[in-house]
Structure 1
Amino acid sequence: MIFGNGRPVFSGIAIGKAYVYKKQLATLPVSCGDPAVEQQKFEAAKQTALEQLQTLMQDAAERLGEEQAMILDVQMMMLDDLDYLESIEAMIQNGASAAQAVKETGDTFAAAFSAMDDAYMQARATDVQDISTRVVTILCNGKVGFSMEEPGILIAEDLTPSETVQMPKDKILAFVTRQGSSNSHTAILARIMGIPSLVKTQINLEEDLDGKMMIVDGFDGCYYIDPDEETLAKMQEKKRTADEYQRQLENYRGKESVTPHGQKIKLYANIGSPADVEHVLKGDAEGVGLLRSEFLYLGRDTYPTEDELFNAYRKVVEGLEGRRVVIRTLDIGADKQADYFELDKEENPALGLRGARICLRRPEVFRTQMRSIYRASALGPVSVMFPMIASVWEVRKLKEMCEQIREEMKQEGIEIGEVEHGIMIETPAAAVISDLLAEEVDFFSVGTNDLTQYTLAVDRQNPSLDGFDDPHHPALIRLLGMIAQNAHKAGIWCGICGELAADLTMTDTFLEMGYDELSVSPTRVLQLRKKVCESEVIVK
Structure 2
Amino acid sequence: MSDGKVRSMLETAVVVKVSEGLHARPATQFAKLAKEFSCSLQVLHGSTSADAKSAVKLMLLGIREHDQIVLRADGADESDAVERMARFLSSPEAGAQSATLAQAAVCAADEAAPPVPLAAVDGPDGPPPLIGVPASEGLACGDAYVYLPEPLQAKRQSIEPHEIDAEQARFNRAFDDALAALDPPFDTIGDHDEIAEALMSVARSDEFAGEIRTRIAAGRDAAAATLEVGASLAASFETIDDEYLRSRADDIHGITRQVVLRLTGQQDASLAGLTKPCVVLASDLTAPDLARANVANIAALVCTRGSATSHLAIIARSHGIPAVFGLPVPDARLRGVQQVAVDGTLGHVWFEPTSAFQEQFTARIGEARAHRTALDVYRDVEPVTRAGRRIRIAANLGAPAEIDAARAVGAMGVGLFRTELLFMNRRALPGEQEQYDIYHRVAQAFAPHPVVIRTLDVGGDKPVPGIAFPHEDNPFLGWRGVRMCIDRPDVFKPQLRALLRAATLGNVHAMLPMIADVSEIRCVKALIAECAQELTTEGIAFGEPKLGIMIETPAAALTADLLAPEVDFFSIGTNDLTQYVMAADRANPHLASLYRSNHPAVLRAIGMVCEAAHRAGIEVAVCGEAAAQPDMIGRLIGLGVDELSMSPACVLRAKKIVCEW
- Structure-1-length-normalised TM-score: 0.69
SS in 1 for 2:631: coil
In structure 1, the gaps of 5 or more residues are: 34-43, 62-68, 80-91, 111-120, 181-199, 536-540
- Corresponding position of 1:530: 656
- Corresponding position of 2:558: 432
The answer as to whether partners of 1:269 and 1:520 remain within 8 angstroms in 2 is: yes
Q: Answer yes or no: is 1:421 the counterpart of 2:421.
A: no
Summarize the alignment of residues 240-255 of structure 1 with structure 2, pairs less than 5 Å apart: 243-255=369-381
In structure 2, the gaps of 5 or more residues are: 1-124, 160-174, 203-214, 216-224, 260-285
Q: Answer yes or no: is 1:144 the counterpart of 2:287.
A: yes
How many equivalent residue pairs? 444
The one-letter amino acid of 2:307's match is: T
Cα pair distance change 1:362/1:232, threshold 3 Å: closer
- Corresponding position of 1:313: 439
Summarize the alignment of residues 108-127 of structure 1 with structure 2, pairs less than 5 Å apart: none
Cα pair distance change 1:453/1:301, threshold 3 Å: same
Cα pair distance change 1:499/1:235, threshold 3 Å: closer
Summarize the alignment of residues 263-302 of structure 1 with structure 2, pairs less than 5 Å apart: 263-302=389-428
Q: Bigger shift: 405-414 or 370-379?
A: 405-414
- Corresponding position of 1:135: 252
The one-letter amino acid of 1:443's match is: F
Q: Answer yes or no: is 1:167 the counterpart of 2:316.
A: yes
Cα pair distance change 1:241/1:396, threshold 3 Å: closer
Shift of 1:256: 1.5
C-alpha distance in 2 between matches for 1:410 and 1:127: 40
The one-letter amino acid of 1:206's match is: R
The answer as to whether partners of 1:497 and 1:519 remain within 8 angstroms in 2 is: yes
Percent identity (aligned): 33
Larger Rg over CA atoms: 2
C-alpha distance in 1 between matches for 2:543 and 2:412: 20
Cα pair distance change 1:254/1:348, threshold 3 Å: same
Query: C-alpha offsets along residues 358-395 of structure 1, whole Å, 9 cap, x if unaligned?
Result: 21101122111111111111134100001111111111
Higher relative contact order (CA 8 A, sep 6+): 1
The one-letter amino acid of 2:643's match is: E
Let me know the Cα RMSD of the aligned residues: 4.5
The one-letter amino acid of 1:310's match is: Y
Query: C-alpha offsets along residues 302-346 of structure 1, whole Å, 9 cap, x if unaligned?
Result: 322211111111221222243221001111213321132122232
The answer as to whether partners of 2:574 and 2:625 remain within 8 angstroms in 1 is: yes
C-alpha distance in 1 between matches for 2:463 and 2:590: 23
Q: Bigger shift: 465-474 or 301-310?
A: 465-474
C-alpha distance in 2 between matches for 1:127 and 1:502: 33
Shift of 1:288: 0.4
Q: Bigger shift: 466-475 or 236-245?
A: 236-245
Q: Answer yes or no: is 1:205 the counterpart of 2:334.
A: yes
C-alpha distance in 2 between matches for 1:473 and 1:227: 33
SS in 1 for 2:547: strand
Shift of 1:420: 0.4
Query: C-alpha offsets along residues 37-83 of structure 1, whole Å, 9 cap, x if unaligned?
Result: xxxxxxx9xxx9xx99xx9xx9589xxxxxxx9xx9xxx9xx9xxxx
The answer as to whether partners of 1:152 and 1:171 remain within 8 angstroms in 2 is: no
- Corresponding position of 2:34: none
Out of 483, 501, 508, which is 2:627 matched to?
501
C-alpha distance in 2 between matches for 1:335 and 1:470: 22
The answer as to whether partners of 1:153 and 1:176 remain within 8 angstroms in 2 is: no
- Structure-2-length-normalised TM-score: 0.58
Cα pair distance change 1:105/1:413, threshold 3 Å: closer
Q: Answer yes or no: is 1:390 the counterpart of 2:533.
A: no
The one-letter amino acid of 1:164's match is: A
The answer as to whether partners of 2:452 and 2:510 remain within 8 angstroms in 1 is: yes
- Corresponding position of 1:186: none
- Corresponding position of 2:489: 363
C-alpha distance in 1 between matches for 2:522 and 2:363: 57
The answer as to whether partners of 1:452 and 1:470 remain within 8 angstroms in 2 is: yes
Query: C-alpha offsets along residues 424-467 of structure 1, whole Å, 9 cap, x if unaligned?
Result: 11111111111111111111111112222222233334455544
Shift of 1:485: 1.3
The one-letter amino acid of 1:530's match is: K
The answer as to whether partners of 1:292 and 1:327 remain within 8 angstroms in 2 is: yes
